[in-house]
Structure 1
Amino acid sequence: MKAPSIDNIFSNRKNLERILDNLKDGIIAHDIDRKIFYFNKRAEEITGYHREEVIGKDCHDAFGGPFCGSRCSFCGDQPLFLDTAEYPINIVTRKGETRRLEMTATMMRDENDRKFGVLAAFRDVTDLFELRIKAREMTGFSNIIGCDSKMVEVFRQITDVAGYDYPVHIFGETGTGKELVANAIHNESLRAGNPFVPINCGALPEGLIESELFGHVKGAFSGAIRDKKGRFELAHKGTIFLDEIAELPKLLQVKLLRFLQEGNFMKVGGEKTVSVDVRVVSATNRDLKKEVKKGRFREDLFYRLNVIPIQIPPIRERRSDIPLLVEHFLSQAPVIGGQRPVRIGKEALNILMDYNWPGNVRELQNAVQFAIVRCQGKVIHPEDLPLELKGFISEKPKRGPVRKLDAESVSAALTKTGGNKARAAKVLGVGRATLYRFLADHADEMQED
C-alpha cells in the first residue's frame, strides 16, 4: 500500500490536529476578532480548560480575563498587528493555580499576505523557575539584580502575589529599590499589560496631592481650567504605586481608606462618584506601626495597605550582591572615545564590599558612575572611588591578627552551613566581607574542589 504524501497529510485537518496535539508547547489560535478556533491538547493540560469550553469564545473572556496578560496586539482599541512578540506571563488555571509561561505570539497571514489571526505557543516553566530559585542560580529577576538568599526570598514573594489583587506594602531603606519591586509585582501580575502609575506622596505640596491622586473638575479651584484625571483614573485596570505613603496627610488618608473599602471616589470639586479597577501597592522607608502608635498614620488604613508586606534588605545585609551590582552598573556605562572601564580592580572591590552603604543601591550606583568618570584606564582602582569611601578606609580601626583562610576549611564550612555564607563566616571566625573576598579571589580553586 502506497504511503500518503506529505501534502495529503497536511491537507487533512485531523492529521494536522494530531501533530499539534503531540507538541510539548500549548497552542492557541484566534482570528482577527479574537475568537478562538484552535486549542491543542497541551494547552488543555497547562490551563485546565477543555477545548470545548473555549473554542468560539473571545480569548479575553474564555479564561476569565485576557490570556495574554493584556500584553498582546489585540488589547487596545486599535490592534498593533506585531508580526512576533515574546514575553513571560503568569496565568491562573481553571483550578485556581498560578503558572508561569513563556509565550510566543505570531501573526498569521494567508496566501495573499492578509492578516487573519494569531497563533500563540506557550510553555509552562513554573517548575524550572522554582528549581532555579531553590538552586540559587538566579542573578536577577524582573530588572532587579541580586542572588543573595534574602533577595531570592523577595523574588519568591513577588511571584507568590502575582495571581492576586491584594494590596502590597513594601518596606525598605532609602535607595533599596522599592519602585523596582513595585514594578516587578505589576509586571508579574495579570495586570501586566495595563498602566503602572507611580506617585511620590512626599514630593507634592499638600494642596495639590488630592488633585494629583483623584483628579479635579473644571473650576474646582483657581487654575482648574479643565477637568483633569488623577493617578487613580490613569491607573485603571493597572497598578498604582504610592511611594512614601507615610507622608500622606491625614485627610487624604481618610479618602484613600474609603477608596480601598468601596473602590470609588469623588474628584476635587466633583459631585459624581468615579469607580476604577486598580491594584494598590504602597511603600515607605519608615516603620508604619510606629507611625500608627505616634498618631501620625491611621491604624485602619495601615491594616488595609499592609495585607501583604514585603521587606527589602539593605545592601549591608546582602553584600554578596555587590559584585553583581557593580558589574551591572559597569555594563551600563556609555562608551566614550571607543573605550570604557571593563572591570573593577580587587582592591577597589574590597573597599566597596567593606563599606556600609547608608544610601544602598542608589549610593553604590553613584559611586560606580563617579569611578567610571574618574578612571583613566580600563581598571577601576581605589583612588578612583568617591572621597567618602576613601575617608571611610582611612578612619577604619586597625584590626588584630586575622585568621588565614584556605580552600579546604572554607569548603567545609560552607558544606556544614548548607551554603549559608554568613553562618560559614561565623564558623570560620572571620567577617562576612573577608569570606566574600576570599571566594571572589579563589573562585577557580573553589570550583575545582
Structure 2
Amino acid sequence: MKKDKDIIPNTLYLSSKLSKEPGIRKEYIRITDKILNSWQKIVDTIAEIINIPSALIMKVNHPYIEVFSSNISNNNPYKAGDREHLTGLYCEEVIKKKEKLLVPNAMKDKKWNKNPDIKLGMISYLGFPILWPDGEAFGTICVLDSKENRYGKRYEELMLMFKELAEFHLALLFQDFSDKKNLENILNNLTEGIIAHDKQRRILFFNRAAEKITGYRREEVLGKDCHEAFGGPFCGGRCSFQQGPPDSLEHLYYPLNILTKEGQPRRLEMSVSGTNDNTGAFVGVIASFRDLTEMIGLKTQVGDLTGFAGIIGRDPKMLKIYRQIRDMATNDYPVHISGETGTGKELVAAGIHNESRRGGMPFVPINCGALPEGVLESELFGHVKGAFTGAIRDKKGRFELANGGTLFLDEVSDLPLVVQAKLLRVIQEGTFEPVGGEKTVSVNVRLISAANRNLKHEVEKGNFRDDLYYRVNVVPIHLPPLRERKNDIPILAEHFLKEFLKEGQKTLGLSKEALAIMISYQWPGNVRELQSAIRFALIKARGRIIQPDNLPMELQEWKHSRSSRGPSRKLDPESVQEALNRSGGNKAKAARLLGVGRATLYRFLADFPDVS
C-alpha cells in the first residue's frame, strides 16, 4: 500500500492539468482490465479491514448507477453488473452533493424509508464521491453494513485514500484519452490520409483526408474488416495480411492505384508501419497515403515528368506511354507491347504490373522465342512426373507461378501454333492441364505480351492465330525507338551513370563531345545498346571524363562516317518500309525514292532487319 500512497499526490497535478480539457466524452473512456483488477483488490481489502459485508465502487449513468466492483463475500448482496435507479439510494445524495455521506443507521431516519438498499438489509452506509479530473462525478466508493455502524475516523481515512487512488486511475485514463483525442485532431487536420487496423484487419482509425481521397465515410469503414470495407484489400496485392496476420511488419513504402467509392482512379503513395503495444507485441498497422493523381497528371501535361514506374524519359511519346500505364493500373485487360528490340518492353510490362492492384504479387516473365516448342509448353503450363523423359518430378509452369499476379510473354509472335491454342483456352477460361496431366488447374493471371514484329502481319502470314491476336491485343502500347526520342538520351545517360556508380564504377561524367555523338547516333539496339555503350565507356575512361575515344567502336565509326560523307538524309523504318512497298521490294528503286544511295539503304537495312 505504501507504493500507492507515494503516487497519490500526483493526482492533484493531473487533475489541475486535465480539468481544462474541453469536450471530453467520458462515455468513450474504457476502464481497462488492469484498473478493474486493481479496484477489485481495493474493495476486497476494504471489506476485510473494516469487517463489513459490502464494499463497492459504483459508476453513475444517469438516471442509473451500476456496481463496477464488489468484494467477494457470501454475505454481500451486491455483485458487479447490478444496476439500480438512483432515486432513494444513499449514493444519490453523494452524487448530487459530491461529498462524503455517513448514515450510521437508516432505520432511525425516515428519510431513507424508500431506500432499496434497506430492502437488502443494508442499514448503515459510508460513501465518498469518485470524481473525474474535470470535477464531474464518475460514481462512488462506499461500504454498507447490515447493522448499525458509525465506522470511525481511521476507516474514513482508509476510504479517502482508496478514493484518491481510484481518482488517480481515472486521471491516467483521462490523460491517455485526451492525448489520443489531441492526436486524432492532429491526424484529422493532415492532408495525408491515415488508416489504422488491428491484426484482424478491423479498421480502428480513418481520418478526414482518407475520407476525401477514397470517397468512403468513416462510419462506413470503422470496425469493419479492411478487405470487406473496400470490396477487396485496400493495398491490393501488396497487402501483408492476405494470408493472415504477420508476426511483425517493417516499414513499407510503395505506389498504389485505387478506385474511389465513385469509381474514380487515384494514384497514391503509401507508407505502412507496424504498431506494437507496451510489451512490444505486434498489434496492427498504421498507414499514411498521399494523393498524387493531380500532381502526376499536371507534370505529364506540362512535360515536367522525367520518369514513371521505373521508366526513364520525358519525350512526349513517353509521356503518352506513362498515361497509358496509369490507365491500365485500375483494370486487368490484356496488354500487348510492340517495339524494336531493346526499347524496354519488359520494363513497361513490369511498370503496368507494379502500378496495378496486382503489384506485390508475382511478375513472371518468359521469352517465348528463347525456348524450343517442347520445352516451351512445359515452361508455360508445367508438367507431371513421367510426362516425358527427364520429368523426374512434378513442376509448376509459369502460369501457375504467376497466379494472382502478371505473366509477361515476351516475343509472343514466336509461339508455336499448338501452344497458341492452349494459351487461348487459358485466357478464355483461366484453366489448363499440365503436360502429361489430367487434373485441371485454375489460375487468376493478368496477361501482358510483347513482340518486336508486327503481330497483325504475323496473323496475315498465318503464323499467329487471329482469335488469339484479338485476345492479347486488347490494349496495344507501342514503344518508340530511341532515335525517335533523342531528347531522352542525356536523361538516360545520366540515369545509367548513377546506376553504375552504385555498383562501384567511378566517373567524372560525360564530355559534351561524347554526348553529341550519342545524340546523333541511330541506336539500332535502342536503350539496351545505350546502356551497354555507357558501361563500356566507363571501363575505358577509368574514372575520368568519358571522351569520344572511350565510346564503343560502332559510335566512333558512326562519327567518322558522318564526317566523311557529310550531311545525308535521315532514314527511318516507316519511310523505308513505305519505299520498299512502293518499289515492290526492289532496293535500288527504293533507294531512288528515298533520295539516298543503295549502300546507305543496305547499311540501314542491316541495322534494322525487321524492315523488309
Give the alignment partner of residue 38 of structure 1, picking from 172, 180, 205.
205
- 1:337-376 alignment, distance < 5 Å: 340-376=506-542
- 1:200-279 alignment, distance < 5 Å: 200-279=367-446
| Paired amino acid for 1:97 | Q
How far apart in 2 are the matches of 1:398 and 1:296?
41
Q: Please say if residues 81 and 107 of structure 1, whose CA atoms lie closer than 8 Å, have aligned partners that are also in contact.
A: yes
Q: Please say if residues 139 and 147 of structure 1, whose CA atoms lie closer than 8 Å, have aligned partners that are also in contact.
A: yes
Alignment of 1:120 with 2:287, yes or no, is yes
- Give the stretch that moved more between structures: 3-12 or 80-89: 3-12
> What is the SS of the residue equivalent to 2:237?
coil
Q: Which protein has the larger Cα radius of gyration, Structure 1 or Structure 2? A: 2
Give the alignment partner of residue 297 of structure 1, picking from 464, 468, 472.
464
How far apart in 2 are the matches of 1:335 and 1:269?
47
1:344-387 superposed Cα distances (whole Å, 9 cap, x missing partner): 11111111111100000111111111111111452111111111
Alignment of 1:3 with 2:20, yes or no, is yes
How far apart in 2 are the matches of 1:308 and 1:276?
21
- CA-based RMSD: 2.3
> What is the SS of the residue equivalent to 2:343?
coil
**TM-score normalized with structure 2 length:** 0.62
- Give the stretch that moved more between structures: 64-73 or 261-270: 64-73
Q: Please say if residues 9 and 15 of structure 1, whose CA atoms lie closer than 8 Å, have aligned partners that are also in contact.
A: no
How far apart in 2 are the matches of 1:105 and 1:286?
42
How far apart in 2 are the matches of 1:120 and 1:333?
34
Count matched residues: 400
Residue 267 of structure 2 corresponds to 100
**Alpha-carbon offset, residue 398 of structure 1:** 4.6
How far apart in 1 are the matches of 2:437 and 2:555?
54
Q: Quick one: structure 1 residues 341 and 22, their matched pair in 2 at CA, closer, same or farther if it must change by over 3 Å?
A: closer
Residue 219 of structure 2 corresponds to 52
Q: Quick one: structure 1 residues 106 and 347, their matched pair in 2 at CA, closer, same or farther if it must change by over 3 Å?
A: same
Of structures 1 and 2, the one with the larger relative CO (CA 8 A, separation 6+) is 1
How far apart in 2 are the matches of 1:343 and 1:183?
29
Q: Quick one: structure 1 residues 78 and 25, their matched pair in 2 at CA, closer, same or farther if it must change by over 3 Å?
A: closer
**Alpha-carbon offset, residue 134 of structure 1:** 1.2
Residue 392 of structure 1 corresponds to 558
| Paired amino acid for 1:390 | Q
> What is the SS of the residue equivalent to 1:99?
strand
**Alpha-carbon offset, residue 52 of structure 1:** 3.0
How far apart in 1 are the matches of 2:176 and 2:560?
76
1:243-302 superposed Cα distances (whole Å, 9 cap, x missing partner): 000000001111111111111111111112211000000000000010011111011110
Q: Quick one: structure 1 residues 381 and 80, their matched pair in 2 at CA, closer, same or farther if it must change by over 3 Å?
A: farther
How far apart in 1 are the matches of 2:381 and 2:260?
35
Q: Please say if residues 330 and 342 of structure 1, whose CA atoms lie closer than 8 Å, have aligned partners that are also in contact.
A: no
**Alpha-carbon offset, residue 51 of structure 1:** 2.4
1:157-209 superposed Cα distances (whole Å, 9 cap, x missing partner): 10111000000000010000100000000000000010000000011111111
Q: Quick one: structure 1 residues 10 and 20, their matched pair in 2 at CA, closer, same or farther if it must change by over 3 Å?
A: farther
- 1:306-317 alignment, distance < 5 Å: 306-317=473-484
| Paired amino acid for 2:387 | A
Residue 135 of structure 1 corresponds to 302
Residue 190 of structure 2 corresponds to 23
Q: Quick one: structure 1 residues 131 and 334, their matched pair in 2 at CA, closer, same or farther if it must change by over 3 Å?
A: closer
**Alpha-carbon offset, residue 19 of structure 1:** 4.1
**TM-score normalized with structure 1 length:** 0.84
**Alpha-carbon offset, residue 131 of structure 1:** 1.0
> What is the SS of the residue equivalent to 1:344?
coil
How far apart in 1 are the matches of 2:226 and 2:206?
11
**Alpha-carbon offset, residue 92 of structure 1:** 1.3
How far apart in 2 are the matches of 1:358 and 1:90?
35
Q: Please say if residues 100 and 124 of structure 1, whose CA atoms lie closer than 8 Å, have aligned partners that are also in contact.
A: yes
Give the alignment partner of residue 86 of structure 1, picking from 253, 272, 275.
253
- 1:171-190 alignment, distance < 5 Å: 171-190=338-357
How far apart in 1 are the matches of 2:250 and 2:560?
59
How far apart in 2 are the matches of 1:280 and 1:352?
35
Q: Quick one: structure 1 residues 382 and 26, their matched pair in 2 at CA, closer, same or farther if it must change by over 3 Å?
A: same
**Alpha-carbon offset, residue 72 of structure 1:** 4.0
How far apart in 2 are the matches of 1:295 and 1:314?
27
> What is the SS of the residue equivalent to 1:259?
helix
1:94-151 superposed Cα distances (whole Å, 9 cap, x missing partner): 1111101111112112222222111111121111111111121111112211111111
How far apart in 2 are the matches of 1:47 and 1:80?
28
How far apart in 2 are the matches of 1:36 and 1:150?
42
- Give the stretch that moved more between structures: 196-205 or 39-48: 39-48
> What is the SS of the residue equivalent to 2:295?
helix
How far apart in 2 are the matches of 1:38 and 1:248?
51
**Alpha-carbon offset, residue 330 of structure 1:** 1.4
Q: Quick one: structure 1 residues 345 and 14, their matched pair in 2 at CA, closer, same or farther if it must change by over 3 Å?
A: closer
Could you tell me which runs of 5 or more consecutive residues in structure 2 were left unpaired when the two chains were aligned.
1-15, 25-171, 568-612
- Give the stretch that moved more between structures: 188-197 or 261-270: 261-270
Q: Quick one: structure 1 residues 372 and 18, their matched pair in 2 at CA, closer, same or farther if it must change by over 3 Å?
A: closer
**Alpha-carbon offset, residue 77 of structure 1:** 5.2
